[in-house]
Amino acid sequence: MVSTRSNVNGNETHDNLVVDAQSLVLSRGGRPVLEVEALAVRAGITSFVGPNGSGKSTLLHAIAGLIKPASGSIRVFGADPGGVRRRVAYVLQAQHAPAHLPVTVREVVALGRAADRGAFRRLRPADHLVVNEAIDRVGLGPLASRHLADLSGGERQRAFVAQGLAQCSELLLLDEPTAGLDLTSAEQIRHVLDDERSAGRAVIVATHDLGDAARSDYVALLAGRLVASGRPDAVLVRANLRAAYGGRLLDLDGDLVLVDDDASHHGPH
């Protein structure tokens, strides 16, 4: 949930913040890639959307405590991100993991319990229940004993989402979780995210898909800077999209069409 809600004195309130970024600059290889004047995230589904190179994944990395700000600050649950990593689950795209790894779906998901149990401790009966529930939630129950190499790309992605769920974290981060997936897998993942929202947890999704962003509770539109944030219907408008996407946004007979580096999406108009 992205918010810049003010109190009666005109100051932004900070109750129940999950992520709070102020005057934030994030760099890669010594080069600034994202500047955010102010961003707040609360419970619900928040989408980070923008073109390739806009800073979406970099911002997820900062929230996960994997990179530090070049300047400014970012707080997660009121603390430095590195100190609260056990409260955050980060799900990368399945293609970042070798598909030929000799591990089963159940073994992949069980790794999600390592954050709680430690890498070398045996799982308790309660841990096995958590793993089984996570597998069932992504619809992979019948495939739990299959190796990753025997799964489709969408099934592998669902396995990694289940691994994130098995961490039982308060904040779930996902990097392009439905990109290039079959319809069944994409809808299964969207259903899981809706369940997380209903349970009162926070989910942040980096996505190219303006349709997915429009279905979120809140949106942060990025283009090397924070162009706009708030409710989808207020953020995903012509002026903001043109500012973020520039020449990659075409106006065809009154309908905005996004021509991005990875895919083309129809945007709000």
- 21 pLDDT above the threshold of 80: yes
- 231 pLDDT above the threshold of 70: yes
Q: What confidence category does residue 12 fall into, taking pLDDT thresholds of 50, 70 and 90? A: very low
CB 131 within 8 A of CB 123: yes
Specify the pLDDT at position 114. Answer: 79
The region that residue 72 occupies, defined by phi over 0 for left and psi between -120 and 50 for alpha, beta otherwise, is left
Rounded Cα gap, residues 134 and 154, in angstroms: 16
If one counts every other C-beta atom within 10 angstroms of the C-beta of residue 6, the result is: 10
- 225 pLDDT above the threshold of 80: yes
Rounded Cα gap, residues 140 and 153, in angstroms: 13
Burial 95-111 (b: 16+ CB within 10 A, else e): eebeeeeebbbbbbbbe
- Rounded to 5, what percent of the chain is helix, strand, coil? 35, 30, 35
Give how far the C-alpha of residue 245 lies from the chain's centroid of Cα atoms, to the nearest Å.
20
CB 217 within 8 A of CB 234: no
What pTM, to 2 d.p., does this model score? 0.86
- Give 65-96 pLDDT, tens digit per residue: 999 999 999 999 999 999 999 999 999 876 56
- Give 110-143 pLDDT, tens digit per residue: 999 876 666 556 888 999 999 999 999 999 999 9
Specify the pLDDT at position 264. Answer: 40
Q: What confidence category does residue 102 fall into, taking pLDDT thresholds of 50, 70 and 90? A: confident
CATH superfamily, with its number, for domain 19-266:
P-loop containing nucleotide triphosphate hydrolases (3.40.50.300)
Strand arrangement, sheet containing 249-252: 249-252, 255-259, 264-266
Specify the pLDDT at position 106. Answer: 95
Specify the pLDDT at position 69. Answer: 97
Q: Tokens standing for 218?
A: 């809140």
- Give 32-61 pLDDT, tens digit per residue: 999 999 999 999 999 999 998 999 999 999
CB 184 within 8 A of CB 153: no
